[in-house]
Structure formats: C-alpha cells, structure tokens
Structure 1
C-alpha cells in the first residue's frame, strides 16, 4: 500500500506550491487533476513525514486547504476522518489549522449534512476542536471557532455544542473554569459568535447560563484590560437583533449602568459602556424586554455624564451623544428622549448646532438625525404628539437663541460647513422634513434647495448618496402635502428636486467640448 501511494517529495513540493498559489478560484476539475497525479493518501503520508523535507509542509497545507474547499475535495473528507483526527492533535500549528478548516469544509461543502454531523459524533471531533480553540495559536483558534460556528448553526448538532449537563467536559461553562485566562477569553468570544447565529442558538446559550460567564468576568476583576475585552464582546453581542431579549435575563445591563455611573472607572470603560447600552436599547424589542427602571437608570447616567462633560470636545462626550442617538433610532427610544421632563434630547439639539466643538457637533447631528427618524421606516418617523411638540420646541428655541433665528437658518449653516458636517446635515434633514413645519420652513429657503440639488456639492460616494436621499425625502414629503404641491409658488422647487433625483446620486459630469479661443494678435 505504501509503495502504491509513494510520491517523490521534491515533485510534490513543486506541484503543491504551484497549486497553492494558482490565481483565482479552483474548480473540481483542477482538484481531480492534481489528485490523479498525487493521490490523497500519498499527500497525507508525505505531510506526516514532512519534517524530513524542508518546506514541504508549508506547500502541502495550503494546497490541501484549496482542494478541500472544492466540492470534489470536500466529498473525499468522510473517507479520511482518521487523518482529520491526527491533524487536530498534531504538534504543528499549520497542520492543526488545516484540520480545523477541513472540518469546516466537511460541514459546509458536503451535500448531506446529516452524514457530516454523524461523522463529527462518531469520531469525537468536537472535543478536539475545543482543544484547538483553547490551546492553539491565534490562527488555529480562529479556524476552530469558524468550524464550531458552522456546526452550531445546524439544529441537529445543537446537542453536541450545548450538552445538557454541566458535568460534560465539552460544556463551555465547565471548560471555562479550567482553562487559562487566554482560553477563557477565546471561549467568551466563541459564545458571542454563536449568539449571533440565530435567536434559537441564543436561546440555547441563555438556557445554558453561558452569558453569566461574561457577567462573572467583569464582576471578578478590576483589571481594566480584561473589562474592556469583555465590553468589546458585549458590543459585538449587542449587534444581534435578538440581543435585548436575552441580555434582559442577565445582570449585564445593570453592570453597564454601574460602569457609566462610576467615577472610579476609566474613561474608556465608561465610553464603551454608554455606546453598548445605547446599542442594546436601539433594538426594536428592547423596550419590551428591558424593564423601565433599568432604562431610566441608564438614560439618567448618560445624561449626568454628558452634563458634566458638555463644555468639552472629548471622546467620552461624543460617546454619550452617540449612545443617545442609538437610543433615539427606535420609535420607542426617540419618544422616550423627547418625553422625559426635561427632554433628554435637549442635550443633542444644543450640541448639534454648536460650532465651537467639531467632534461633538458631528456626533450630535448624527444622533439628532436618528431621533428625527432618518433610520426608521417611513410610518415610524413621526412620533407621538408630545414628543413631536417637544422636538419642534427644542429646535425653534435653539434657533431663536442664535443669529440664525429659524430652523432653516440652522440647517443652512450646517450645509455651509465641511463635508462631514454636511453629510450629517443631510441625514438630519431627511428625517425632519417628514414634519410639515420643517418642510415649509426649509423649502422657503432657496439657498438650502440650491445646495441640495447641486450634483457637484459632494465629491465622495457616501456624501453623494446622502445628498440624493435627502432630495428624495424632501420631494416625497412635498408631493404628499396637497397644500404645498398645489401652490404655484413652489413649482420651480419641485422641478429642481425632480431633476436632481433623476440625475442619480453620483457626480453628473458635464460634456466638455473644444471651445474656439479668440484673442488679439501680438503686435511689435
């Protein structure tokens, strides 16, 4: 058998190196042609003895990885599971990573996932993946986490990843108690990645009390770096649409509130805690699951922090405004910010039109754009009567206390600033024009319309798109108002907006034609 599958290591080294670095994606035919020349058992055998041939492992590992990522290569994996097991326990980190990638290919490329999961069970692959995650180098740990995430995404494999008994060696809580600090951080990161897969996987994580590991990591240490690492994981967890439901069942929200309120906490910790809390409250169902007292507490803590910092242009001040903007992005959140007494949104409005601090003004404009509804679907832009009255009052009061006098004056001053501020201004206008009082004031200001319909105002893609969406929002609000659309006074504005929308968001280049130049002749 060994003679049948023996290969010349020098030839394999050259061919594998060429195959690994071949440009573009590889076809099944390419993989078949390579393996016809170098049978897979021979390649695996050579890999196991690669220490005798310098450079062979570095060529064969990426070669096999590319082969297994093809449909044809993946179809061979079930026949070579013993090789996968040896690879997962190998001394070489390169080979370990290859084995983890091979498991991912088995799960994602194989057409019958039931067979793949059965093989994972039969050969005891999952404990070895966890070992790679905890003890491998950074690349091995990442490849192992990828494989485990694919495995956890299959309902049939839920029992493998989330065993019912905490006494199981593979139970993540049990494993976290025994591993090194680095291994524990990797396990926490894995839990967060699995949490984002789906609500059903998040439910399993919640049932297994795995989110409590994040709590415990913060509670049992005063190490700023450790707490910051956990907060970064919480920030990732908060991105999941279903995060509020499951976080509400833990003390994580209360921990965030404590960090925000703590004068002893490092500035960076308070900043991250504010943004994460805002992110959690930006979810549509947050106000359904997180109790009102917790929401009030975190909002009060953010307000107090902003009031203390409002004369500064600091990162912490900007984070407080970002958090308020995140909260205000949802209908319930915006209503809350505009309905408290006094309205918490007053801080955002004041900072949005304060030109003394650029960073703070930029953060506030984006936050006010969220509150005004730029990120919400059309039927959720306009809020309750009380909230709308307060929004109108706050903006008019701010305008009356400046030389701009009117909301349109404030908005014009925003559009006359640098591109970052202008883009935030487009977002704000996009949300505000759903209100008749703002629409009327804005279209009465020809300078604003001239800036908005000018396709040469912006030179960057994101700015062009924001300006175009702003024109669309104004025109949409304009035509939905029978009073304004039937008024001949504004007919030319409608035409300008239509033309700007028709041209699209990107720079409309003018036709350059050769022009004759006429000049007087030089005379001596």
Structure 2
C-alpha cells in the first residue's frame, strides 16, 4: 500500500473537509473529480493508518459518506467490499458506522440485477459483522446496522440470509437474542419489529419462525422493569403497522396484556400497566381484529381496562387517562363502539360519568375525547349511528347522567362543558359533532340558545384546532337540522338554522365579516 501512502495529510484534510461540508448537492461529476485527485485507496489508507491529525478521521468518514451517496460513488462499492469487511470490525465507531451505511448504499442503489448486493454480502461474510455491530456498537452504529439489515430484507436472497432455514444457525435472530445482554436483546427485538414493518410478506416470515414470541416472553418475564418497558414500546410500534392485526390475533399477546392490566396484579408497576392499556387500545381499535379473534378474549381485555378505571388505584392520573384513551381508541370502530355500549357492558357508563365529572380536568378531557370517538366523531357520517339497542343504551346513559347532575338535562351538561377552558371546549365540540346526528341530541342542542351562540361565535377560539373543531361542530348541527323535518313546523329552529348557515359560510378562521382598515401612520399629538 506504499503507493497509496498519504504524504501530506493536511492537504487531504483540507480537500476532504471542503467536499464533506459543501452546503450544496454533491454530484457524480464532483465525486469523480475529487477521487481523481485523491483515489479511494488513498483515503482508505489514511483511515487505516490512524495518523495523529486532529479531525482527520471524522472528516474522511463524512467525505466518504457523501461520495458513496452519489451514483458514481455507489458504483465503486463492489470493488471495495474488502474495505467494508474490515471497516465493520474497526475499533473506531465512526468507521464502523460508515461501513454499515456503505452496505445500505450498496443494497439501495447498485442496479446489477436482483440479489447482486445480497450476494456480495454473502461473498464477503458481511451479515454476521452487521449483527455484531447491532449488538456491540454504539447507538449510531446499531441504527446504521439495523438500516442495512432492513435493506438486505428487500430481496429474496437477503430474506434467506436473515431468516435461515436452519434454526441452529448462529445468525438466527432467536439465537442472537438468547446470547445477548439486555441492551443487545432490545436491539434484536427492535430489529424484528423493523423487519416486520417492511411488508406483509416479511411480517409473515417473522411470524412463521416464531420471532414474535420473543417479545411476548420479555413482557411476561417482568424481572427487569426497564427491559419490559422498552419491549412494550416496541409492541406499541408493532401494533400500529396496518397489517399487524392478522398476525397478532394468532398470538397470546392480548391475553398477556390483560394479565398485566389486571386489577389484582399488584406486582406490575403503574407505568407498565399504562403502556399495556394503550397497546391493547391500539390493537382493538382496528375493525378487522373483531373478525379474527374470539369475543371472549376481547371482553377479557375490556374488563381488565374497566377494572383499572374503576379501582381506587386508578386515581393515578396517568393510568386513568391511559385507560380512557384506550377505550376511546377501541370505540372509534363500529364494532368496538357497539361492544362498549352494549347493555351487558358497564364500561361506557364509566366513560360518560368521567366525561361530565366536575373533578379531575385531565380525566374529564380524556373521557370527553373517548366518548367523542365512541359516538363516531372520527367515523364517516354514514357510520356514526349504531344498531337500535345500542343507540337506546347510549341515549339512556346520557340522560341518566344528566338527571343525577345539577344540570338535570343533557343540554345543560353540554353547555356547562362548553363554558370551560379551551382544551375542554375542543373535546366538547368533538362530542357534540358525533352526537348531534341523533335526533334526541339535536333537540337538546337546539333547546339552549347559549349553545348555538357559542358554536357560532367566531371570536371564541384562538387556537387552530379549536377553531376547526368549533366549525366542524357548527357544520354538523346545521346539517342535522336541515336533515330533520322540524324546520317547517318551528320558526325558532328556522332562526337557528339561519344563524348556523351564516357561521358555516364564514368558515373556521374568519373572525369578522368586515375588517376595517387601520391607519399605518398617525399624526403626532400637539400640545
């Protein structure tokens, strides 16, 4: 390598710094011009020689990153895979991170037929080194390694590397997790979730070799609270993947979560219980879960959440609000709302009671939003109403709660809620928007002139979300009123409809129909 020795490192440092930190886009031409002056072997030799020049390593790493991001630079990577192999084993975390990123650039951009990049990974025995970087590298190295492995999974040949047919392979992710420290295990589990998120076919591979059971085992163990919390966060991320339900419904995950949430499980830390509640809500918020899992399991989870909500321990604000938010997620689907509002369930009653409770602002706001979801504010208009029995139960719950309160009527409850602070009003607008589709609620809303005045008042809200929620509420009332058959028989409703129509015409943000021009300059006052 004598021919590639660096005779003037300061010159290389200056040129590399200019290239690496150039504020504009580096093109293929600029990359080629730079490498004509300083060939890749020269730069690699400078990195490996560990010259004691301040900032040289970090600058050369940044320079190579920008070179390999160009198409010209990427095209050179196959010729320098031996450097990548060495770089993945370097003592320097910067060099390791660069090597991992270089594998990603190779897999993303080299167009020489399907599986070309994956074959190079096999030929140079790169995959085991990526796994070692994942387990033992610093956070940046681990993240870069994870990205490279995700890119590897994009080809069938790459899938064969990551999911070997032989379960005894050292590189099998189950075996890797088993021999890793707690930090290493979390990283392996995080990789599993990221692989699962790539596509349904990759998710199927993850499921078929039973890798999801690693997540289940960790949250069942609970010997290390931080470890359990980290894994719960990964499951929360997993539950948000659109096609996750079809796989999660075949696992015992919901039963495990129900045990974590359970009223008599005093050994579980409140923060773990809160996350378990939120994950359950996210999973059960999807319509297809009700078609792929038995109702008894769903009811077990719901009863566990409701038990926490009603227990004295659930006075813990975070846990209580998590339970209400989860119930709101579940109630956002038609099946979930119908289950919560069924006559055999008392869950909706606790949500309604909390929504109109005069104590606990956070709890009240979470309950109002949850009830807004349950009554269909975030569902399409033609999917807001439920079956007759469920609708009757909802009406009964609202009227019963009102009758036991000082406000006596639902309209009194709605008005009282609208008269509170802006965050509570926002939740109240959402609730009314969903409820007013029901004729009984429309009558209640129109019976209080103060409610109409507030929802048509363009000055009342200053925050964007409040303005939009108020306007959406105004639209919903107006539309429900026009759809009713009461306008011709009641002149008072005609006046209300006119006021609502004018408010709708003004839009959500226009506070005044006419704005008077204000002088930019005023004359000085004279003594």
Same fold by TM (over 0.5)? yes
Matched, 1:380 2:383: yes
Matched, 1:514 2:515: no
Shift, 1:123, TM fit? 2.5
Matched, 1:99 2:111: no
Task: Name the structure 2 match of 1:83.
Answer: 83
In structure 2, the CA distance between the partners of 1:479 and 1:99, relative to structure 1 (3 Å rule), is farther
Question: Do 1:278 and 1:324's aligned partners in 2 also have CA atoms closer than 8 Å?
Answer: yes
Q: In 1, Cα distance between the equivalents of 2:107 and 2:511?
A: 48
Shift, 1:277, TM fit? 1.2
Shift, 1:58, TM fit? 1.0
Matched, 1:441 2:444: yes
Q: Which moved more, 1:486-495 or 1:6-15?
A: 486-495
Task: Name the structure 1 match of 2:395.
Answer: 392
The one-character-per-residue Cα deviations of 1:7-63 (angstroms, maximum 9, x if unpaired) are 732122123223333335544444344334333332222222244323111111122
Shift, 1:75, TM fit? 3.0
Shift, 1:504, TM fit? 4.2
Shift, 1:444, TM fit? 4.1
Question: Do 1:7 and 1:38's aligned partners in 2 also have CA atoms closer than 8 Å?
Answer: no
Q: In 1, Cα distance between the equivalents of 2:70 and 2:124?
A: 23
Q: In 1, Cα distance between the equivalents of 2:458 and 2:430?
A: 17
Q: Which moved more, 1:277-286 or 1:69-78?
A: 69-78
Q: In 2, Cα distance between the equivalents of 1:515 and 1:422?
A: 36
Task: Name the structure 1 match of 2:195.
Answer: 194
Shift, 1:494, TM fit? 4.3
Q: Which moved more, 1:268-277 or 1:474-483?
A: 474-483
Superposed counterparts of 1:185-264, under 5 Å: 185-261=186-262, 262-264=265-267
Task: Name the structure 2 match of 1:31.
Answer: 31
Structure 2 gaps, min length 5: none
Aligned residues: 521
Q: In 2, Cα distance between the equivalents of 1:24 and 1:423?
A: 44
Q: Which moved more, 1:235-244 or 1:135-144?
A: 235-244
Q: Which moved more, 1:29-38 or 1:351-360?
A: 29-38
In structure 2, the CA distance between the partners of 1:332 and 1:12, relative to structure 1 (3 Å rule), is same
Q: Which moved more, 1:297-306 or 1:494-503?
A: 494-503
Question: Do 1:343 and 1:390's aligned partners in 2 also have CA atoms closer than 8 Å?
Answer: no
Task: Name the structure 1 match of 2:454.
Answer: 451
The one-character-per-residue Cα deviations of 1:210-266 (angstroms, maximum 9, x if unpaired) are 011112223344222222222222211111222232222222211111111112222
Shift, 1:423, TM fit? 1.5
Matched, 1:347 2:350: yes
Q: In 2, Cα distance between the equivalents of 1:522 and 1:47?
A: 76
Shift, 1:351, TM fit? 0.3
Matched, 1:122 2:123: yes
In structure 2, the CA distance between the partners of 1:445 and 1:14, relative to structure 1 (3 Å rule), is farther
Q: In 1, Cα distance between the equivalents of 2:488 and 2:163?
A: 60
In structure 2, the CA distance between the partners of 1:136 and 1:470, relative to structure 1 (3 Å rule), is same
Q: TM-score, normalised by structure 2?
A: 0.90
In structure 2, the CA distance between the partners of 1:76 and 1:343, relative to structure 1 (3 Å rule), is same
In structure 2, the CA distance between the partners of 1:435 and 1:153, relative to structure 1 (3 Å rule), is farther
Matched, 1:59 2:69: no
Shift, 1:436, TM fit? 2.4
Matched, 1:132 2:136: no
The one-character-per-residue Cα deviations of 1:260-289 (angstroms, maximum 9, x if unpaired) are 111222222222211111111111211122
Q: In 1, Cα distance between the equivalents of 2:39 and 2:33?
A: 10
Shift, 1:133, TM fit? 0.4
Question: Do 1:245 and 1:290's aligned partners in 2 also have CA atoms closer than 8 Å?
Answer: no
Structure 1 gaps, min length 5: none
Question: Do 2:4 and 2:41's aligned partners in 1 also have CA atoms closer than 8 Å?
Answer: no
In structure 2, the CA distance between the partners of 1:225 and 1:340, relative to structure 1 (3 Å rule), is farther
In structure 2, the CA distance between the partners of 1:199 and 1:377, relative to structure 1 (3 Å rule), is farther
Task: Name the structure 2 match of 1:466.
Answer: 469
Matched, 1:337 2:340: yes
The one-character-per-residue Cα deviations of 1:312-370 (angstroms, maximum 9, x if unpaired) are 36221112212211211111111100014243111100000112110110110111111
Task: Name the structure 2 match of 1:18.
Answer: 18
